[in-house]
Each structure stands twice: as structure tokens, then as C-alpha cells.
Amino acid sequence: MNRLKVKILIDDESLDERYEKEHGLSILIEHSSGYVLFDTGKTSKFIDNARTMKVDLSSVKHVVLSHGHYDHTGGLKAFLEINKHAKIYFQKNGTKERFSQKADGRMSYIGIDKELVLGSRVIYPGLQYEINESLILFSGVSGTRSIPSINQSLFQMTNKGLERDDFSDEQNLIIIDNGKYILISGCSHKGILNIIDRAEEIIQRQIDIVIGGFHLFSFSKGAIENERTIQSIVDYFKNKKTKIYTMHCTGMKPYGILKEALHTQIEYIASGSEIHI
């Protein structure tokens, strides 16, 4: 039976000089039911890396956009120019206008181009959606554990004006393959521990592998998450056998703290990395 392959097409860091890097995330999942693309990075650089990794993105069948931020959706237009058939899975309320408050108080637009997520190729999944029996999308995560304090500088436009973002559009992917249960998260704005809790409620068992960013670092402010939040993640995983692959908004300094505590249980994966499961 073919093994599941996960390839990191773009990340803030790169495996070596062959691969582009940027503040963005794009992951390719080579699944038995076809290629799944999880996020499209900030620009078209993920496409360049895909070519280097000998990946044919025109063969992608499913595209999951984790949420409506530019560093996860910015490359979508370039992707749509080379792939004419893939279904796009995106939460409908992800089209709301999004802003990041900079250190000097200025607001910077960080949302998606709404025109890209319209039309017959786009599917709005709702709170839980099965792409097929092995690929499950879910959003609507609740809970208060490990919520990034960095969320406080992220805003959305509502009918009442600018309000703090509630990230109600953030969706995650569960992959079931060869008896393994894999969770893929984009930025974990809802808190990685809350996301895992919800995933395990859905599948009624423990997640074996977690892949994603934990948002323990603010790219715009250069600030890391508070010690208490990082420690709560350490304490949670110390009591589990879950394998962790992290990247993007986790940040290298917070990753170093996690690595020191969790040792081989956690690895950082960058542009050009490949995991065989």
C-alpha cells in the first residue's frame, strides 16, 4: 500500500538554498484519493518549489484554504491559472475584510481577494464536511486553551465596524490513512489544543500526528507568545505519544523551547521538507 506523503511547498524557512521561502504556508498531501493542496502561501513561490520537488500542481484535486489571511491564500490566483479543475474548500465567512494592527497602531489589510473564492469550483463546507471517507474538514472550534495572545492585534470588519477577529472561518483537515489519524492546521488561531480536542471528538480516538503552525510568533511585531501558553502546549504533549511537525507561525524561538522539552516528539519542517507516513 502506498504511503501517505506530505510535502512542504512553502514556509518561512527553507530546507536549503534550492527552495524559496516567505512568510506563508502551503502543504501538498499525496493521498490515495488524489493530491490535496492545503493553503497557497503568500505569493506564487510555492509553485516554483513544487516544480523543484517534481510536483505537478495541475493534478491537484482538492484545495483547502485554512482561513482568509493573505499568507495562506495569496498564491491562489497563480494556482488557478495552472489548475482548471480542483475544488476549492473555503469557509464562506472567510471573505470578510481582515486587518493586522502594527506596532505603531496602523492597520494593514491582510484579507483574501474575494473574487477568487466565487464560482462553481468553490465549496463552502460548513462546520464539518467529508471530502471523502478519509478526508474530513472541520471548523467551529471552541475552548480557551492555548489561544495565541497575538490574536489581539488581528481584526475583522463587521456591520458594527472593526472588531477583534473571531476566526470563525478557520478550518482544519483530518486525514485517515493506513490506520493513522493525521491533523493538519494552518495557523491555529483557535488554539492548537482546542483544535486537537475537537478533532478527537470527531474521530472518537487520539490524533497520531499533528502538522501545522501554532502561532507562537508575531511576524509583524517580532514578538513571541507568553511563556504560560508555550508551557501549556509542552504539558499537553508530554502526556501523549502524538508526533508533531510544526512550521510557519510557530516561530523558531518558540520552536526551540518546545524542542528542548519534547525532544524527538517534535520536528520543524520547512520549504522542501517531505514526510512519509
Grid cell 516544480 is found at 51
pTM for this one? 0.96
Helix (H, G, I), strand (E, B) or coil at 206: coil
Q: How many domains does the chain have?
A: 1
Alpha-carbon torsion 248, 253, 258, 260, what sign? positive
- Measured between alpha carbons, how far apart are the two ends of the chain, in Å? 12
Mean pLDDT across 65-80: 97
CATH number at residue 236: 3.60.15.10
Range of the domain at 226: 5-276
Q: Which of 102-111, 117-126, 136-145 has the lowest mean pLDDT?
A: 102-111
Mean pLDDT across 130-151: 94
More confident position, 82 or 104: 82
pLDDT at 204: 96
pLDDT > 80? residue 222: no
pLDDT at 1: 43
pLDDT at 179: 92
The amino acid present at 114, given as its one-letter code, is K
pLDDT > 80? residue 123: yes
Q: Please give the C-alpha separations between residue 208 and each of 72, 87, 93, 134, 200, in angstroms, as whole numbers.
A: 25, 27, 30, 15, 10
pLDDT > 90? residue 97: yes
Cα atoms found within 13 Å of the Cα of residue 37, Cβ hemisphere only: 32
pLDDT at 109: 95
pLDDT > 50? residue 218: yes
Cα angle at 249 between 10 and 30, to 5 degrees?
40
